Amino acid sequence: MGPSCEFCSRKGHDASKCYKKRNKEKKQAFLSETTFCGTNQAFGVSTDCNHFLIDTAATSHFCYERDWFKNFKELKTTKALLADKKSTCEVEGIGNIDFIVQDIKGNVKITLKDVFYTPNMRRNLISGARMDIAGLKIIWSNNVMRICHSNNEYFFSAFRRDMFYIVSGYPLLDSVMYTSVDLNLIHKRLCHVNIPLIKDMCKNKSVKGLEKVNIKIDNESCIACNVGKATRTSLKKNYVYKRVTKSVLDKVHMDLWGPAPVNSLGGSKYFLSIIDDFSRKIDVFTLKSKSEVYSIFKEYLSRVQRELGRKLKSVRTDNGLEFCHKDFETFLRNLGIKIERTSFYTPELNGIAERFNRSSMEAVRTMLQDSGLQPRFWAEALHAYVHTKNRCSHKLTEGKTPMEIWSGHKPSIRHCRAFGSLAYVYVPTVNRNKLQPKAKIGILVGYAVNRRGYRVWLPKERKVVESIHVKIDETKNGVKTLFGKVKHYDYAIYQLDQNLNNDSDYRAQDEKSSSPEKPSSLDISTWIRLEKPRTKSKRIDVYYYPPSKERLRSINDVKIYCQKNKLEFDPNQFNFKPTKAKTRFEEKSECHNETSSDSVDEASFVNDIFQNEIYMTEIPKTFKETQISPDKEKWNEAMSEEIKLMQNRKVWDLVEPKSNMKVLGCRWVYNIKHDEKNNVKKYKSRLVAQGFKQRPGVDFTDVFAPLVNFDIIKFLFVLLVCILGWNHCQIDVKGAYLYGNLDIPMQQPEGFVLKGCEHYVCRLQKSIYGLHQSGRQWNLELSEILFGLGFHQNDLCNGLYTKSNCILLVYVDDIVVFSKSQSDLENSILNIKIKLEITELGPVRYLLGVNFERIGDSVYLHQNTYINKLKTRFKNLPRRRITLPLKVGCILPDRVKENEIIETELMRQIPYKTLIGCLSFIANRSRPDIAFAVNTMSQFCNGYTYHHWTIVVDILNYVFNTMYYKINLSDTHNTRLTMYSDSSWGCKLNDRHSTSGYIMLFGNVPITWKSQKQKCIALSSMEAEFIALTESVKCIIWYSKILKELNLIDFRMPELYCDSQLAIHFSKNNIENNKTKHIDIKYKFVRKLLYDKEFELNYINSKENLADFFTKPLVKEKFLSLIKVIFQKYSVTDGAECWNSNELVQSLNESISLVNFHDVAEVTALV
């Protein structure tokens, strides 16, 4: 049976493995972490907030009112253990409380020290044990607990009520909170509710926070209310609604408002209101389309039924199509929920919801008018209004607030502040350095829903943030303080009123699905844009003119109608859709953010991830944007230079178009080029044809154009410059594509249409950018020119041309010339210059997004310029200090189908693929240390979740933290090719594919590397290693053949290292058995090359295998030991001393300044 346990006396185990002993130790450890014990009774019932309960079982005082504390300190992960030793309660802070006890002998001040703040408890407790420690005595007699001093001097008393001893009184607050509050300020804090309601709430003590409001002060007339809430005089008699429901969720009223004249910050056009009939509690949800109503209601129903433990009985709606479709009715019917509909053209039967629509929009208009915020903030104002509305009493609720009836607890409005006030948001230390400000200035726009805190609009960052660490100055208007004046937007405010008045008409039209819209007659002579729903396609716009009841379908129809009837055509009229969309430069001056901020989850999620492309860069997208750009003259100069270049090349001739001629369009593409130090080099404008309209096989056939591989550029740079000492120069061909010959008609470029020949077209004689065949035509023309100069094209490598003592590498219009002597170099460039218009850039410093930095006698390769561009373009994600690109044991969720990713709809807007593209560009050219991590995360491009996104952001942070790692191209003490190969067998848990990895060194310089998922499933680790070995052999043999053909140095047989003895044995021997006969024949050519002695295959220990981190995550120590070999030397700044590899580890722990970043454009635009 084995040994006997000394703890539980059972046999089969000893005390060190006893589960019973472990459980007891865990409980004791938990008890040691708790700070006090409570009682079960204390948590069973609630009490008035101004009472304390004396509990002799509690080891400390605790209170759930945050405003009562003085000298408050926050606590982290502290729990209180209740008397049953099972239940716990969160403790969020500690402090002192001054409390005035209303005793029978007068008011007595007591000070409770070290009181724990427990917001989730429903009792304020005074610890009997703490009173005993303080030297107080407790005496019981006749339902009274007397507390006396140690000398028996009477102190105060607690009276028994329902088996509890209660101490009544009120807290002694700070003088700032204790002074009287202006009634007009409370009016603004509660989103401009009517003054009589505030007075009734003060009298009835409906909420906490109105104790010191001076209701005797005559309030001034609120200008914002007079403007925003003006109504017609009602001619109907007063009607009093009688409430017939007896409990919450007996009936809810629902209605949909919209469309709004302007989209909200999150792009919403509608809002859905759900109002409980008994409590009058309101829930609003902003929507982008009416089709979201069904899903929103299902979420609402499951939440409230779980919250209250009750079932919904009936729903009252109008006859809108969003409520009357089959799925909605079937869902309600299956749950036994009664459906109540209004009669046609009778919106007053759903008066509660309709009245809320009017009240809410009046409040929104008033709040926007008072704050000066733009109309697009209407959703933020709406949520703020609902937050305060639920905390205001109703005439049918007998002085109670909707929140109190709904939850059973009296709410507080002490946290409420005036909408639009100036706010200061604290910046955590992790998001700033020591010299940056500790707070950001913004504008208060509401309250957080799922957490405690405020919502603040930050104009400079153009986003809404949520934080509890906010200081609000209600004496200052945020817009006026930040922008100098408050601008009132009459257009949007007026339109909100029109949509409200026409809401019933929209409902009537929904009831007649096939009938056209018929808005109510208006007393204004202006066009109104209506939205007409369709069942099978998208919604369409209808432009309605009330005086003549004219309906038109497009802006052009409106313009023609106005010209015929001699009406004034003004694109800025109310409700009229502008004739052209605002450019990004016009919108940039406004407070704008297209990320979703209508809900807390969307705002906190998306605003922390990326911002709209509008604020990415100053580069215009269209010709019209250049004409309003601050750099208009520079862009015009760049376009004129492009047109002049085309005229000199005779790219086109102007001809009259034939009747059957298919004419291609064209557009301008703009870019700002930078040098290796990221300084502005030139403004570039390029005319591009719209080649997407070309038809394959008709307009073009062959399109392939060869390019030199960038690894070959590194390889030959090391060979020719660092080893042989050849001279080199980089040249750029101006308008390279314009040298190709074509015959295609194209429209005249915008901004350069020849006067008097507007109907003419450009008949292209040369190729231009944008055409499918332009690249091929340019390559054919260039090859012909180089052949005429005596160059020969290398058969092994695309883009490699050789001639006696001169070598050319061609990548589109970038050419690198290598020559044995300076005179040969100059002659070669001169010969090319005769044939082509080129720009000499001197020795290679910045080529295809990669820096070639010369420090002393060494040349270093890195991509700091490109990474710095990422830093300036990515601004809104958190910066973290990451020491490994991918942690060991990092669990990645299985790849899911794209249509199943619905964490939120906004996940689709995350620039995951863009960021993977940027990281792949860096990993393939200069950073082998992130190759495996990027390769792994790129496998989730069509199925990523938020967890995948956080890992990719960590990889980018790692690149930022280690951006000064540089490859020393001059470290070539030998000229032998060395390859390291490795694999990780079955590492992909979802499909059991293995990962191959290799890296090739020329001397000690890493030339090429790869981390790749194997295409077939290996049945053994030997097979996985052999497949990886095959890929490595293909690569090293190619470079060996190039070396042999150039014949510039003594060739030495390449070495290939593998850490699998079985794979080496299988490669060298013709072994065929049940474990190996299935291996594909294409992998067995390794054996043939070994027999021919094309390379040497040797064993290496796994600890020394450089390819190890291309196949799996490694621990920090091993990872650093391997990258020290690759990044042997690097420098921090130009001219700085070179650091050796032993200092590399220390750089990972250096503090890095804060860098923000947001979404990035295409990788090619950054190069």
Neighbours of 1059 (CB within 10 A): 20
- Please report the pLDDT score of residue 1152 as a whole number: 29
- Please report the pLDDT score of residue 22 as a whole number: 58
Whether the predicted pLDDT of 273 surpasses 90? yes
Across the range 204-230, mean pLDDT stands at 67
Q: How far apart are the C-alpha atoms of 69 and 94, rounded to whole Å?
A: 8
Across the range 773-799, mean pLDDT stands at 84
> CB neighbours of 1065 closer than 8 A, spacing ≥ 6?
1071
Whether the predicted pLDDT of 182 surpasses 80? no
Provide the angle, in degrees to the nearest 10, between the axes of the packed helices 946-961 and 931-938. 160
For residue 151, give Cα distances in angstroms to 107, 125, 140, 240, 1157.
21, 25, 17, 64, 68
User: Hey, what domains does the chain have and what are their CATH numbers?
Assistant: 51-171 (2.40.70), 242-413 (3.30.420.10), 420-490 (no CATH), 524-565 (3.30.890.10), 623-848 (no CATH), 861-965 (no CATH), 971-1131 (3.30.420.10)
**Pair 887, 950: CB distance under 8 Å:** no
Across the range 222-229, mean pLDDT stands at 72
- Please report the pLDDT score of residue 724 as a whole number: 87
**Pair 1152, 961: CB distance under 8 Å:** yes
- Helix (H/G/I), strand (E/B), else coil: 1075: coil
The CA-CA-CA angle for residues 484, 486, 488, to 5°, reads: 150
Whether the predicted pLDDT of 272 surpasses 90? yes
Question: Higher pLDDT residue, 599 or 1042?
Answer: 1042
Which of 206-220, 366-380, 566-580 shows the highest mean pLDDT?
A: 366-380
1140 CB-side CA count, 13 A:
1
**Pair 654, 761: CB distance under 8 Å:** yes
For residue 1122, give Cα distances in angstroms to 479, 1029, 1114, 1118.
55, 20, 10, 6
- Please report the pLDDT score of residue 602 as a whole number: 34
Whether the predicted pLDDT of 1146 surpasses 60? no
> CB neighbours of 673 closer than 8 A, spacing ≥ 6?
680, 681, 682, 683, 684
841-858 tens-digit pLDDT: 888 888 888 989 888 788
525-574 tens-digit pLDDT: 455 555 444 433 444 456 666 555 566 756 667 767 776 676 665 554 43
Whether the predicted pLDDT of 759 surpasses 50? yes
**Pair 371, 354: CB distance under 8 Å:** no
Secondary structure, 3-state, 196-244? HHHHHHHHHCCCECCCCECCCCCCCCCHHHHHHCCCCCCCCCCCCCCCC
Of 86-90, 151-155, 498-502, least confident by mean pLDDT is 498-502
- Please report the pLDDT score of residue 252 as a whole number: 92
Question: Higher pLDDT residue, 210 or 437?
Answer: 437
Question: Higher pLDDT residue, 615 or 53?
Answer: 53
Q: How far apart are the C-alpha atoms of 752 and 1112, rounded to whole Å?
A: 57
- Please report the pLDDT score of residue 383 as a whole number: 93
**Pair 767, 793: CB distance under 8 Å:** no
- Please report the pLDDT score of residue 971 as a whole number: 81
- Please report the pLDDT score of residue 90 as a whole number: 83
Across the range 886-914, mean pLDDT stands at 64
- Please report the pLDDT score of residue 102 as a whole number: 83
The CA-CA-CA angle for residues 707, 713, 715, to 5°, reads: 135
Question: Higher pLDDT residue, 224 or 471?
Answer: 471
Q: What is the dihedral of CA 38, 43, 46, 48, to 10 degrees?
A: 10
Q: How far apart are the C-alpha atoms of 611 and 681, rounded to whole Å?
A: 27
Whether the predicted pLDDT of 583 surpasses 90? no
Question: Higher pLDDT residue, 22 or 781?
Answer: 781
Across the range 1141-1152, mean pLDDT stands at 34
Q: Provide the pLDDT confidence category of residue 222 given band limits of 50, 70 and 90.
A: confident
- Please report the pLDDT score of residue 441 as a whole number: 92
Which regions of 916-1070 does DSSP assign to beta strands (E)?
A: 967-968, 977-984, 995-1002, 1005-1013, 1055-1058
> If 0-12 CB within 10 Å is exposed, 13-18 middle and 19+ buried, where does residue 392 land?
buried
- Please report the pLDDT score of residue 604 as a whole number: 35
Provide the 8-state DSSP code for 1058: E
> If 0-12 CB within 10 Å is exposed, 13-18 middle and 19+ buried, where does residue 885 land?
buried
Across the range 277-281, mean pLDDT stands at 90
- Please report the pLDDT score of residue 494 as a whole number: 31
Across the range 644-653, mean pLDDT stands at 83
- Please report the pLDDT score of residue 455 as a whole number: 93
Secondary structure, 3-state, 847-898? ECCEEEEEECCEEEEECHHHHHHHHHHCCCCCCCCCCCCCCCCCCCCCCCCH
Pairing outcome for strands 550-552 and 540-545? antiparallel
Summary mean pLDDT of the chain: 75
- Please report the pLDDT score of residue 449 as a whole number: 82
- Helix (H/G/I), strand (E/B), else coil: 100: strand
